[in-house]
Structure 1
Amino acid sequence: MGDVLAVLEGEPWLACLDSGSEIMPRGRWTILCRDPVHVVEAHAGRCFVDRREQAGDALEILRGLIPAFACPDGMPFVGGAIGFADYRFGQRTHGLSTRHDPDPQQPEFAAGIYDHAIIMDRLERRVWLTGYGTPDVMARRRREVMDLWGRVVAHVPLPKMPDIQFTMERSARGYRRAVAQACDYIAAGDIFQVNITARMWGARPPGLSPIAAYRALRVTSAAPFGAFLSCGSDFALLSASPERFVALDVHGVMRTRPIKGTAPRDPDPVRDRQRAQDLRLDEKECAENLMIVDLMRNDLGQLARIGSVSVPELFNVEHFTHVHHLVSEVQATLLPGHDAIDLLRATLPPGSVTGAPKHRAMQIIDELEGSARGPYCGVVFRIGGDGAMDSSVIIRTLVMTRAGICAAAGGGITILSDPQKEYEEMCLKVSALLSVFGNTSSGEKEHD
């Protein structure tokens, strides 16, 4: 996959949903799309279609642009929409304001409508070109793909990443204080759980390629929901997410797999298995996971048939490159007359990175965190012409603009949380991102 991306360097509106994990079936497919038919963007609540401002809501506009067509059996995606909605976009769906200034270089929402897709099957080791265009359009797409494959003639070496100094938005003491304040809210009965995060920034060296950085990230952090989105020339999303947000199949079955609970890996297999077992039995981590399961049952329940909500998996431990995670699954059946757009609107932003109750947790997040989350804690999604959708939570993600690179991490806070341990867990999560660029110092400040 890296060799294919390397020859597409600099191509705007490139979308790659990259399953770089051995966790099957969520690690089976990689979807590559380029040259969208239409582009939908939202900046500060204003919507644009193909760079022209258009009145209306971004999700409603997107719904009107996705054509309806059947998807062949066995194919995950034939064409349709691929994009992302950031955390601020989710705040807007809840009618919430923010005290943080957004980055003007970053869209709140961006999606391309693609009439084709290159599908790579990791299980059967096959590559497919799919699409819904006219015969002439598909013939042109075939020629483009053959030309692309002709350029991928040999292994493209991965360039060495530059050393980059990242600076944390606040000190370790400041992060611990925010966690302690969150615990106070919980003790007062204001909320049950809340996710507290932090961001780190580094200057983008001249000539640093987003695709090269993403290829390096894939090497160090393979994940079942990786994504590379190039939204124009000045913004790119490089995600190694382990977490599915919501999926919807053609039969109306909704699934979400919230992650809450983390333990570091150990190079010794015996100790590593013990850490996984300890995570499964940890009172604080299980309580945190259960609260998010209840929140997601409520979110899906807004659009679910009565009696269809179930929890087929609870407190399952999944293993990733750097950490073990506690994962559960919630399922439900979508009510007739609703679709993937309705499902996104009802569930944004993800409950696993907000808290419970969601609305109040989001208000506290805005009060306690030091900056706007931006794309972090938003959602990458794909919606096909057959109505099926899959999406991932934007965590373990680098955001690149013309001037800088942002990395972020956080964790769920409960009444049992210890501020120092929460700080250490946040550092563990972000370390995989910073290690791409060698110098992993947070550069934390002594004073806020």
Structure 2
Amino acid sequence: MDRDGMSLPLPWRDVDAVLAAWGHLPWLACLDSGGEVGDRARWAIICRDPVHVVTQHAGQCTLDGVAVEHDLLTVLRDCLPVGGCPVDVPFAGGVVGFAGYGAGLRMAGIVTRHGEDPAQPEAAFGIYDHAIVLDRLHGRAWLAAHDAMALPADRIARLVARWEAVGPAGPIPALPALPFVPDHDGVAYRAGVAQAVERIAAGEVFQVNMTGRMYAARPAGLAPVDAYRALRAGSPAPFGAFLSCDGAFALLSASPERFIALAPDGTVRTRPIKGTAPRGRSAAEDARLAHRLKHDAKERAENLMIVDLMRNDIGRVATIGSISVPELFGVERFTHVHHLVSEVTGRLRAGCDAFDLLAATLPPGSVTGAPKHRAMQIIDGLEASSRGAYCGAVTWIGCDGAMDSSVIIRALSMTPERIIAAAGGGITFDSDPMREYREMQLKIAALLDIFHWP
């Protein structure tokens, strides 16, 4: 692919300061890597003022507020300009947004029994003619575009001036203490896990991902960006994201999990997470917990099933013989937990693009189960409410054909009326309902903590 484009060096600004200054803007997109700097947490991407917006509600796709006949991925493909990308940045404008779990269900042809929430889009994307890219590894920042002529001089001047005007962030506003109510309580959640184990024992599936949601009324005046600033401070994540969609809905993600990455040369990578353990209170305890996770037979079996599922999904659009597993059962450390992580790679088949790759892989296999289609049907019957954006994917697709994405886990959704938190885990034949319930509580705790939930 052509890597030409425009990149203009900018003064460094802290992401928290940018969020404090710009977080009120509709359609602000901030893909926010946090935690230890490295390959998985190097880049932050910020875009504002999209040239087009694409949303989907109840299967109906709209472009700039006007209903269109085409499906979501076709509309996004048609809107994406063709261009290059400067060599010093991974992204220089294109598509940024999310496709929620419901959008993935539709792609899979599964009709949910849960009602639609008109306040939550199934998908929402901006088409941006620029990107402000921060390299955390080297402390550098750029204004980038896919073509040297894509941004008029006056627009460049405005973007640069607004960036340079960003000042110190100031303290994060105190968040209110909020009571959260589960969509099903502990007894019901454990019963759902037990039912999933029964379905596995009956041979319907090998694994099912069981999740639950907790809801709180959104207080008047609570800005999503303030909640996100508190979330990223307490739970820095390599694939964090703040997406302010049309000013009425916001997605706040502290995801640890890469979904699918596509390089301009067609190389595909995914890093599914399956397996969780708490962090220790000392270095020695931390090491013991990580070692135990790495060698836990149940967690390894769970991870291996998702590796096989992702090999199959990617294989639908990959060159025959290109799929490999360069890493199996690695342990990665995050602020609150250890995770068991593997990597699957492949090469995209000629004639396929990032949109074909998403069509073949959404929703993410690590949050569905195996076999995938039957697992999604079982999930819909067992869970008490719609997943919404949760368990979908935050995605950017560049004008050069590259893509990166993350699984929407450890995330909050905010509508004008509600705040929604969610968590869950993979269920196998050996799953213990109480252990699975405690793992779900461990995962959701960081989301609720920012609202002083006991």
Pairwise mapping of residues 302-313 of structure 1 onto structure 2 (< 5 A)? 302-313=316-327
Secondary structure of residue in 2 paired with 1:437:
coil
* 2:98 paired residue among 80, 84, 95: 84
Distance 1:23 1:186, change over 3 A: farther
Q: Which residue of 1 aligns with 2:46?
A: 32
Q: Which residue of 1 aligns with 2:159?
A: 145
- Is the contact between residue 116 and residue 133 of structure 1 (CA under 8 Å) also seen in structure 2? no
C-alpha displacement of 1:145: 2.9
C-alpha displacement of 1:258: 0.2
- Is the contact between residue 79 and residue 384 of structure 1 (CA under 8 Å) also seen in structure 2? yes
1:65 maps onto 2:79 in alignment: yes
Q: Which residue of 1 aligns with 2:247?
A: 233
C-alpha displacement of 1:74: 2.6
Tell me the TM-score normalized by structure 2: 0.95
Pairwise mapping of residues 333-412 of structure 1 onto structure 2 (< 5 A)? 333-412=347-426
1:115 maps onto 2:98 in alignment: no
* 1:131 paired residue among 140, 145, 152: 145
Counterparts of 2:122 and 2:166, CA distance in 1 = 34
Q: Which residue of 2 aligns with 1:293?
A: 307
Distance 1:135 1:252, change over 3 A: closer
Structure 1 unmatched runs, 5+? 441-448
C-alpha displacement of 1:134: 6.3
1:192 maps onto 2:211 in alignment: no
C-alpha displacement of 1:103: 1.2
Structure 2 unmatched runs, 5+? 1-14
Counterparts of 1:347 and 1:194, CA distance in 2 = 17
Counterparts of 2:160 and 2:400, CA distance in 1 = 27
1:157 maps onto 2:182 in alignment: no
Q: Deviation string for 1:124-169 (max 9, x for gaps)? A: 1011001136648342333223332343223322111111111111
Q: State the one-letter code of the partner of 1:418.
A: D
* 1:41 paired residue among 55, 78, 82: 55
Q: State the one-letter code of the partner of 1:158.
A: I
C-alpha displacement of 1:219: 0.5
- Is the contact between residue 175 and residue 451 of structure 2 (CA under 8 Å) also seen in structure 1? yes
Counterparts of 2:161 and 2:18, CA distance in 1 = 12
Q: Which residue of 1 aligns with 2:272?
A: 258
Q: Which residue of 2 aligns with 1:421?
A: 435
Counterparts of 1:133 and 1:68, CA distance in 2 = 9
Counterparts of 1:322 and 1:62, CA distance in 2 = 36
Secondary structure of residue in 2 paired with 1:127:
strand
C-alpha displacement of 1:363: 0.4
1:180 maps onto 2:194 in alignment: yes
Counterparts of 1:240 and 1:382, CA distance in 2 = 16
Q: Which residue of 2 aligns with 1:444?
A: none
Distance 1:128 1:186, change over 3 A: same
C-alpha displacement of 1:318: 0.1
1:54 maps onto 2:68 in alignment: yes
Counterparts of 1:75 and 1:23, CA distance in 2 = 16
* 1:249 paired residue among 251, 263, 282: 263
- Is the contact between residue 21 and residue 169 of structure 2 (CA under 8 Å) also seen in structure 1? no
Counterparts of 2:171 and 2:293, CA distance in 1 = 38
Tell me the TM-score normalized by structure 1: 0.97
Counterparts of 1:438 and 1:144, CA distance in 2 = 40
- Is the contact between residue 116 and residue 141 of structure 1 (CA under 8 Å) also seen in structure 2? no
Q: Which residue of 2 aligns with 1:443?
A: none
Sequence identity percentage: 59
Q: Which residue of 2 aligns with 1:171?
A: 185
Counterparts of 1:435 and 1:293, CA distance in 2 = 32
Q: State the one-letter code of the partner of 2:440.
A: M
C-alpha displacement of 1:58: 1.1
Counterparts of 1:114 and 1:9, CA distance in 2 = 17
Q: Which residue of 1 aligns with 2:5?
A: none
Aligned residues: 440
Q: Deviation string for 1:209-248 (max 9, x for gaps)? A: 1111111000111000000001101100000000001111
* 2:332 paired residue among 318, 336, 350: 318
Secondary structure of residue in 1 paired with 2:151:
helix
C-alpha displacement of 1:439: 2.1
* 2:282 paired residue among 268, 276, 290: 268
Q: Deviation string for 1:370-391 (max 9, x for gaps)? A: 0000000001100000000000
Counterparts of 2:356 and 2:260, CA distance in 1 = 12
Counterparts of 2:189 and 2:279, CA distance in 1 = 24
* 2:346 paired residue among 328, 332, 336: 332
- Is the contact between residue 37 and residue 136 of structure 2 (CA under 8 Å) also seen in structure 1? no
Distance 1:169 1:136, change over 3 A: closer
1:96 maps onto 2:141 in alignment: no
Distance 1:133 1:144, change over 3 A: farther
